[in-house]
Amino acid sequence: MRGRCFVAFVSVALLAGSPAPALAQQRGSDIGGQPTKRKLTKMPRLVKFVEAEYPPAKKAAGVAASVVLTIEIGATGKVTAVSVAESAGADFDAAAAAAAAGFEFEPAEVDDKPAPAKITYRYDFVIAAPEPPAAALAALEGEVRAASTFAPLGGVKVTVSREPAPDGAAPIVKSATTDAAGRFSLPDLPAGTYAVVVEAPDGTTTRFSETAAPGKTTRVRYDVVLPPPARPSPPDGVDEVEIRGRPRARREIVDYAVRAEQAKKVAGTQGDVLKVVQNLPGVSRPPVASGQIVVWGSAPRDTRVYVDGVDLPALYHGSGLRGTINSDLVASIDLVPGAFGAEYGRGLGGLVRVETRSLPRGTHGYVGADTLDGSAFASTQIGERVRVGSAFRYSWLDRVLAAASPSSTGGASDIGDFFPIPRYRDAQLKATIDLRKRESLDTVVLVSSDALDRTVPSPDPAKRRVEATRSGFWRAYARYTNTTDDGDTAIVTPFVGHDASSLVQRFGANPTRLEVDSDRYGLRASLRSKLGSRVVLVTGMDALGTASSVSREGSLTLPPREGDVAVFGQPAGDEYAVDRWKTHILDVGPHAYADVRVGPVTLTPGVRFDAFVIEGSKSLPPAGNVPPIGFSRMETTVAPRASARWDVTRRLALTTAYGNYHQPPEPEDLSAVFGTPELGLSRSTHITAGESLRVTDSLTVDVVAFDKRMKDLVVRSRLANPLRARSLTQNGEGRSYGVQLLLRQELWRGFFGWASYAISKSERRFEGDEEWRPFDFDQPHVLSLVASQEIGSWSVGARFRYASGNPRTPVIGSVYDARSDRFDPVFGPQSTTRIPSFWQLDLRVDRTFVLGRGVRALVFADLQNVTNRDNAEEIAYSADFRRRGIITGLPFIAVVGGRLEL
């Protein structure tokens, strides 16, 4: 306990002259006084107080007391005498008298002149209760990013107000503004629940609610929705590109983020932003000439690609050398190998989503050329509300290699006899109209085409085996975006397009030909609404229609499909068939999901309803003059999806996700001759669990375990003579499971890089079989190492990739068919050998020159496959199947080029 002394003047008397009546009280009450004949004009006032020493024994015992003193004060204000008028005990009396002797006063005045006086004074000794400890303060800090691109937002005002103010206290309101990195800090907040208002520079507001715990710092991140026209025009080359584990514009931590300027500097990408996806964990090398993506053991065609929500058939051109969208039009990339949300469907594998860049104001552009191709981009502003941009690319690698490698016979180059040379071109056109504040309309046109040939040479031209692949697509769509003052966002995107592909195989006397032409149309719409401070609800519609015309001729078993026992270049059998048919597949998928925040946990439950209409022109093979009879049916599905994220600490987060998925049959599988018109939906279930650890502010570690189960997969009938219109069945089953790791160093002192590794197993079997076999695209080990260092205007980088080879069935002999004058292979056990493992080292060096205001030049050398390794793309055999060889990929290529930017 702490003793405190309370004092009070209780009376005053003059020592000179006759007594005066009591006139006033000062810190006490009058006890008495003597009347005086003189007039008291001023009472003495204490100006120096001395605290008495509390008697220790009494203080320890908790004894309180009061001592009444008589104090005589001289005309100068000094105390001249002290006596005890009422005792409280010797120890209290002595302490009070000693303290009072040190008092100093302003003297009393009589008739306005200083005069001596005597006062009665009470000195109180009390034991004060201990003061309550000061309430522990809290703090709120974090960062603000754009929900669509996850770019940091500077200049954003974050305001907190306590809700409600306790005990009627005045509301607490504090504000902070984010810095250039999007960070803010609000220290010294009383503990409690706060309403948080995030106000972007354009006036867009987003509201949240946070609970600030006493003595703790609450760390948050807010992803706010900004309308495209309201986003500030980014500087040249400083777009954000995200490669993320969970694709959503919501309040959660982004798994992987790479600036476009950095992505362009990764060795082996030749400056193509989209190619960064190839270096992430869980992404395997695609089959040659496909230009598709293999993730988490799924077939390439099971992974869907979307640009601004519009379905595309491929992300890359043939051999994966280039993306199909110009890098200067790319704002973000979302990669989800599995367990994606309810807004997307029609795929059993993963999801890649590309968002196009908002066109900058003013006039910008570039012209570039390198060993692979030439490209250009230009954009300009028309008035205050309209911006237009276009891009074009054309490949010439085939001519460069032909000039560098003349034919061994002195004629035209025969380099295509050793590895496939892709030929491609693409173009994009985008226009943006700012309708009103936070309301815009984007119109986009995308065009792409590819051609690629694979050849097994032979001295006999008749035995030369060739596979020719051609593909192309175009899309046209309009995207309307409207964001309200409350942050609710509506997006509507109607689109149309066309896909075309052809495959021709000449492996003997009877060529195989497959041509597919598809008209695409659809609509994607979504509405994002806030239901209070902790819940965000997204509802939407995803519709896609595909009307296809398919033509096929040749062997019933060529081209081979997954699970077939076959080898590249295998001659077709004696059977020969022809079919032409049409199909129409329409899927309408309403969906909804919600982000629910409960403390450090974010829950995202969702559901998707799909109604598939599957129609075709032929339900049975042609029979004489009988006209074909078509078919039409509907299948409906309900697909629950859910994910959860727990921010355990500021640096550690745990995640999990679950989902059911469905996929309609491909148009080429609905043939009454080569397939089965009655094919239905294939199904899969995805489960993931992972953690994300931020070791330092720039070093992160992400680990994800996954499991996929697939059923009702389309496989070839095992019957030697299948029933009519039953060449394919849905008796396939699949499973894929594994773990992927990413160790990533964000930009730090000019250095960035990452190491990614995935170990997985993907298997298939025919329903009822006891044994599983390796999936045709199974790659158990995939490793990528990426590093880049900026040194002034120079940049150097390296990339190393390793991937297991795909399984193949070995050829252990051959038999001669005298009637057809050919050799047929004799196969060993299915999928018991593999294409040799792939590994490749790439290096890159570039330099930037500033030529003038707003003009710069970039020159670079991207050295691909610097060890000149003969990486196998496929196993091939001689015409008699006695000699085994490989079809190799591209050799060492020095991709040298540059670009001039405005």
Question: Which CATH number does the domain housing residue 175 bear?
Answer: 2.60.40.10
Mean pLDDT of 644-656: 91
Any alpha helices (H) in 781-863, and if so which ranges? none
Q: What is the spatial distance between Cα 502 and Cα 517, in angstroms, rounded to a whole number?
A: 9
Cα dihedral 216, 257, 541, 662 in deg (nearest 10): -110
Tell me whether residue 253 is in a domain. no
Which of 89-98, 282-291, 486-495, 565-574 shows the lowest mean pLDDT across its residues?
Answer: 282-291
Residue 181 above 60 pLDDT? yes
**Bridge partners of residue 73, in order along the sequence:** 79, 117
Residue 280 above 90 pLDDT? no
pLDDT digits (tens, 9 = 90+) for 581-634: 999 999 999 999 999 989 899 999 999 999 999 999 999 988 878 888 999 999
List the structure tokens of 812.
Answer: 């252990």
**Bridge partners of residue 874, in order along the sequence:** 887
- Shared domain for 200 and 86, answered yes or no, is no
Residue 279 above 70 pLDDT? yes
Tell me whether residue 247 is in a domain. no
Residue 720 above 70 pLDDT? yes
- Shared domain for 765 and 787, answered yes or no, is yes
List the structure tokens of 835.
Answer: 């294409």
Q: What proportions of the chain, in percent to the nearest 5, are helix, strand and coil?
A: 5, 55, 40
pLDDT digits (tens, 9 = 90+) for 61-100: 788 888 888 899 888 888 888 988 888 888 888 888 888 8
pLDDT for 458 equals: 60
Which of 68-82, 497-511, 676-690, 853-867 shows the lowest mean pLDDT across its residues?
Answer: 497-511
pLDDT digits (tens, 9 = 90+) for 882-893: 888 887 777 888
In the block, residue with structure tokens 């493992």: 837
CA 243 vs CA 271, 323, 444, 700: distances in Å = 16, 15, 23, 14
Classified as helix, coil or strand, 42 is strand
- Shared domain for 325 and 379, answered yes or no, is no
pLDDT for 46 equals: 85
- Shared domain for 408 and 477, answered yes or no, is yes
Q: Which of 673, 447, 719 is nearest to 580 (CA)?
A: 673
Interstrand relation of 157-162 and 113-115 (parallel, antiparallel or unpaired): unpaired
Which of 67-81, 150-164, 236-250, 298-312 shows the lowest mean pLDDT across its residues?
Answer: 236-250
Beta carbons within 8 Å of 544's beta carbon, 6+ residues apart? 311, 346, 520, 521, 522, 586, 587
- Shared domain for 177 and 279, answered yes or no, is no
CA 585 vs CA 521, 611, 679: distances in Å = 11, 10, 12
pLDDT digits (tens, 9 = 90+) for 122-174: 888 887 665 545 556 778 888 887 765 556 787 888 888 874 544 444 567 78
Mean pLDDT of 321-348: 88
pLDDT for 11 equals: 45
Q: What is the spatial distance between Cα 473 and Cα 518, in angstroms, rounded to a whole number?
A: 9
Report the 10 Å Cβ neighbour count for 643: 23
For the chain, state the CA radius of gyration.
41
- pTM, 2 dp: 0.72
Range of the domain at 282: 259-336
Q: Which of 813, 894, 886, 797 is nearest to 847 (CA)?
A: 797
CATH number of the domain enclosing 681 = 2.40.170.20
Residue at a domain's end among 197, 224, 251: 224
pLDDT for 10 equals: 40
Tell me whether residue 233 is in a domain. no
State the DSSP code for 669: G
Q: What is the spatial distance between Cα 668 and Cα 675, in angstroms, rounded to a whole number?
A: 8
pLDDT for 6 equals: 40
- Shared domain for 330 and 382, answered yes or no, is no
CA 434 vs CA 290, 329, 388, 441, 494: distances in Å = 38, 18, 12, 7, 18
Beta carbons within 8 Å of 720's beta carbon, 6+ residues apart? none
Beta carbons within 8 Å of 632's beta carbon, 6+ residues apart? 613, 614, 615, 616
List the structure tokens of 38.
Answer: 């003189």
Q: What is the spatial distance between Cα 752 and Cα 122, in angstroms, rounded to a whole number?
A: 77
Beta carbons within 8 Å of 624's beta carbon, 6+ residues apart? none
CATH number of the domain enclosing 80 = 3.30.2420.10
Q: Are 773 and 803 in contact (CB under 8 A)?
A: no
In the block, residue with structure tokens 């191709």: 373
- Shared domain for 433 and 316, answered yes or no, is no
Of the pLDDT bands very low, low, confident and very high (cuts 50, 70, 90), residue 707 is very high
State the DSSP code for 351: E
Classified as helix, coil or strand, 249 is coil
State the DSSP code for 623: B
CA 64 vs CA 2, 96, 100, 666: distances in Å = 11, 13, 18, 95
Classified as helix, coil or strand, 168 is helix
Pick the more confident residue, 614 or 570.
Answer: 614
- The end-to-end CA distance of the chain, in Å, is 77
- Shared domain for 325 and 417, answered yes or no, is no
pLDDT for 379 equals: 94
- Shared domain for 751 and 877, answered yes or no, is yes
Residue 552 above 50 pLDDT? yes
Residue 765 above 80 pLDDT? yes
Q: Is residue 881 left, alpha or beta, with left meaning phi > 0 and alpha meaning psi from -120 to 50?
A: left
The string of DSSP codes covering 299-317 is: -GGGSEEEETTEEES-SB-
Tell me whether residue 465 is in a domain. yes
Tell me whether residue 130 is in a domain. no
Q: What is the spatial distance between Cα 407 and Cα 423, in angstroms, rounded to a whole number?
A: 19
The identity of residue 241, as a single letter, is: V
Which of 179-183, 512-516, 529-533, 546-550 shows the lowest mean pLDDT across its residues?
Answer: 179-183
pLDDT for 517 equals: 96
Tell me whether residue 792 is in a domain. yes
Largest CA distance in the chain: 154
Mean pLDDT of 732-741: 94
Q: What is the spatial distance between Cα 511 and Cα 505, in angstroms, rounded to a whole number?
A: 6
Residue at a domain's end among 224, 244, 275: 224
Of the pLDDT bands very low, low, confident and very high (cuts 50, 70, 90), residue 25 is very low
Of the pLDDT bands very low, low, confident and very high (cuts 50, 70, 90), residue 756 is very high
- Shared domain for 191 and 101, answered yes or no, is no
Tell me whether residue 254 is in a domain. no
- Shared domain for 267 and 404, answered yes or no, is no
Tell me whether residue 249 is in a domain. no
What is the chain's mean pLDDT, rounded? 82
| Share of residues in the chain with pLDDT > 70 (%) | 83
Residue 509 above 80 pLDDT? no
CA 492 vs CA 567, 649, 894: distances in Å = 47, 38, 44
Q: Are 296 and 338 in contact (CB under 8 A)?
A: yes
Residue 478 above 90 pLDDT? yes
The identity of residue 665, as a single letter, is: P
Domain total in the chain: 4
Mean pLDDT of 539-554: 95
pLDDT for 763 equals: 94
pLDDT for 407 equals: 53
pLDDT digits (tens, 9 = 90+) for 360-394: 888 889 999 998 899 999 999 998 899 999 999 99
- Shared domain for 549 and 512, answered yes or no, is yes
pLDDT for 425 equals: 94
Q: Are 748 and 695 in contact (CB under 8 A)?
A: no
Q: Are 693 and 744 in contact (CB under 8 A)?
A: no
Q: What is the spatial distance between Cα 363 and Cα 602, in angstroms, rounded to a whole number?
A: 42
